[in-house]
Amino acid sequence: MASYLYSASLCALLMLAGCRSASEHEIRAPESMRVGDRAALAVTGTFEPSDRITWATTKGKFEGRVDHPSVTFVATEPGESTVLCTINSQGRTIVLQAGVRVSEQGPTPGQSSGRASSSAAQGPLAIDTLFHPAGWMGDAVEVDKQNRPRYMVLEDASREAPHSPPTCYKLGYKPGPVGWAAIAWQYLPGTAKLNFGEYPGLNLQGRGYRQVSVWARGLRDKNGLLPRVQFKAGGHTDPAKPYQASFEVAGDFVLLTEDWKQYTLDLRGRDLSQVIAAFVVVIRARDLGPDGATFYLDDIEYQ
Residues 6+ apart with CB under 8 A from 147: none
| Bridge pairing between strands 116-117 and 202-203 | parallel
**Distance separating alpha carbons of residues 1 and 38, to the nearest angstrom:** 20
Does the pLDDT at position 84 exceed 70?
yes
User: Which of 251, 1, 285 is closest to 152 using CA atoms?
Assistant: 285
Contact predicate 15/25, CB 8 Å: no
Which carries the bigger pLDDT value, residue 184 or residue 110?
Answer: 184
**Distance separating alpha carbons of residues 300 and 287, to the nearest angstrom:** 23
> Reduced to 3 states, what is the DSSP secondary structure of residue 211?
strand
**Distance separating alpha carbons of residues 292 and 279, to the nearest angstrom:** 22
Model pLDDT, residue 70: 78
Contact predicate 82/57, CB 8 Å: yes
Q: What percentage of the chain has pLDDT greater than the value 70?
A: 85
User: What domains does the chain contain, in order, with CATH numbers?
Assistant: 11-106 (2.60.40.1080), 126-302 (2.60.120.260)
**Distance separating alpha carbons of residues 191 and 162, to the nearest angstrom:** 30
Does the pLDDT at position 18 exceed 50?
no
Contact predicate 218/257, CB 8 Å: yes
**Distance separating alpha carbons of residues 219 and 230, to the nearest angstrom:** 16
Contact predicate 132/188, CB 8 Å: yes
Model pLDDT, residue 20: 44
Q: What confidence tier does 105 reach under pLDDT thresholds 50, 70, 90?
A: low
Model pLDDT, residue 13: 34
**Distance separating alpha carbons of residues 285 and 291, to the nearest angstrom:** 10
> Reduced to 3 states, what is the DSSP secondary structure of residue 251?
coil
Does the pLDDT at position 269 exceed 60?
yes
User: Which of 123, 132, 158 is closest to 6 using CA atoms?
Assistant: 123
Lowest-confidence segment of 28-32, 36-40, 45-49, 119-123 by average pLDDT: 119-123
pTM of the predicted structure, to 2 decimals: 0.65
Does the pLDDT at position 7 exceed 60?
no
**pLDDT tens digits for range 194-248:** 999 999 999 999 889 999 999 999 999 999 999 999 999 999 999 999 999 999 9
**Distance separating alpha carbons of residues 265 and 246, to the nearest angstrom:** 16
> Reduced to 3 states, what is the DSSP secondary structure of residue 71?
strand
Amino acid at 209: Y
Tell me the average pLDDT of the chain: 84
Rounded (5°) CA angle 186-99-74: 25
Rounded (5°) CA angle 147-61-119: 105
